[in-house]
Amino acid sequence: MSPEHGAAAAREERTAVITGLGATTALGGDVPTTWAALLDGACGIGRVDFGAPGGPPCDYLAASAAVDPADLLPRAKAAHCDRSAQFALVAAKEALRDAGLPDDPGAGDGGPRVAVVLGAGLGGLTSILEQNHRLETGGPDRVSPRAIPVMLPNHAAAEVGLMVGAKEGVHTPVSACASGAEALAQALGMIREGRADVVVAGGSEAGLHPLIFAGFARLRALSRCDEPERASRPFDADRDGFVMGEGAGMLVVESAAHAAARGARVHCELAGAGVTNDSHHVARPAPGGAGCATAVTAALRDAGLDPEQVRHVNAHATSTPLGDLSEAQALHTALGKDLQDVTVSATKAALGHTLGAAGAIEAVTTVLALRDRIAPPTHSLERVDPAIELNVVGRDPEPLPPGPLAAVSTSMGFGGHNVALAFTSAS
């Protein structure tokens, strides 16, 4: 083997590619349905009523899942899982199928070395509340023997790990709304370190519970608009808060060498990741989005990309006044002053804010944008906030140019977490 050959092989060994995509969202129970609806400008937001008959009104706008994950799983498995784990299992199965792998690629001996990294924001919170209700109304004997495993933050990751045979490790990054993206950053690290051939990575969340709505509402983080189609308006001049969603996004992150050896189809390369913390405030972003800017810069450096190579950004853009502004400032800082040739998509307009799943679902849509050369629309956008100064995709999707292409997906979470992921088109 020539030295150049050896270097190329070594690079391929450390390169991580995306070979499988899975998602379950407000727009569809799988990736093709979600993507088609998103490109079509559909909105997944509707009204959810939690009010008990005769009780106080308790309804909110939310992007609830289009397909109940429990309907797609064996009955007893669904009964043993928090809804967040149900979402994760459904999306993981789709991602593995898309990658041309069985549900359990790591089971048995001699197969690929498999790991799972699955981020969670709230974890099994609705199960905790349900078990607490049983405790308070029926006493300790009515609490499920499954209460503890189901309420742990690693519950969904453990269930996916059991399914896939993740003997190389099961990890659960918990960084609020950056968890799903941080999972992909960790998956990239595992591939580069040679710790696994295949990492099933992403995030899931099932937090549509009146307590969570009330908590975010009391923080004044939720939109007060009562029109479902217009409530989530990322980057719009009239945005006033986010709309909560639920679901999961899962990706098969694979070493390029392993993917090539089995002749797998490659969607794109996961080229780099940047993970930083504001160290500023528990909920407010750092002035000028400094921590987010540093994460984007770090992801590009990690990927060996120049800022001007980035032509598409899937922004975190939750539709809060301050969050969107500071993210825009961060993008200007990290990518350069004039960003008019960078198409920015804000998919929370249609999918809501899925908290710990958001970074993973948006990683899926970023990969699809690179693959299909099209940036998804922001259906609710009427007028870009003049202070934003970004080329935000409006009601119609925008084509992306041919040739080598790089895209960035950003995620931020309470606690000052910032994660940026850099993807490059398949060569």
Partner 1 sequence: MPTTADDRQMFDELREVLAATVEDVSPEEVGLDADLRDDLGVDSLALLELVAAIEERWQVKIPVEEAARLATVSDVVDHLCGVVAAPAGGTA
Residues belonging to the active site? 177, 316, 353
Residues whose CB falls within 8 Å of the CB of residue 331, separated by 6 or more in sequence, listed in order: 289, 292, 293, 296, 313, 315, 339, 342, 344, 390, 410
Measured from the CB atom, is 3 or 145 closer to partner 1?
A: 145
Task: Work out how close the CB of 77 gets to partner 1 at its nearest, in angstroms, rounded to a whole number.
Answer: 5
In angstroms, the CA 253 to CA 79 distance is: 29
139 binds partner 1 (CB under 8 A): no
The single residue among 55, 56, 74, 139 that binds partner 1, judged by CB under 8 A, is 74
Indicate the residue type of 27.
L
Three-state DSSP class for residue 201: strand
Q: Is the dihedral of CA 364, 368, 374, 380 positive or negative?
A: negative
Six-digit token string for 22? 């899975």
Measured from the CB atom, is 85 or 370 closer to partner 1?
A: 85
Measured from the CB atom, is 150 or 350 closer to partner 1?
A: 150
68 binds partner 1 (CB under 8 A): no
Indicate the residue type of 179.
S
In angstroms, the CA 350 to CA 380 distance is: 8
Cβ atoms of 302 and 398 closer than 8 Å = no
309 binds partner 1 (CB under 8 A): no
80 binds partner 1 (CB under 8 A): yes
The single residue among 97, 146, 192, 195 that binds partner 1, judged by CB under 8 A, is 146
Q: How many residues bind partner 1 (CB under 8 A)?
A: 11
263 binds partner 1 (CB under 8 A): no
Task: Work out how close the CB of 155 gets to partner 1 at its nearest, in angstroms, rounded to a whole number.
Answer: 14
Task: Name 277's bridge partners.
Answer: 417
The single residue among 1, 52, 76, 282 that binds partner 1, judged by CB under 8 A, is 76
Among 296, 298, 300, residue whose Cα is nearest residue 315: 296
Measured from the CB atom, is 77 or 192 closer to partner 1?
A: 77
145 binds partner 1 (CB under 8 A): yes
In angstroms, the CA 411 to CA 291 distance is: 11
Measured from the CB atom, is 159 or 269 closer to partner 1?
A: 159
Interface residue list for partner 1 (CB under 8 A) = 74-77, 79-80, 141-142, 144-146
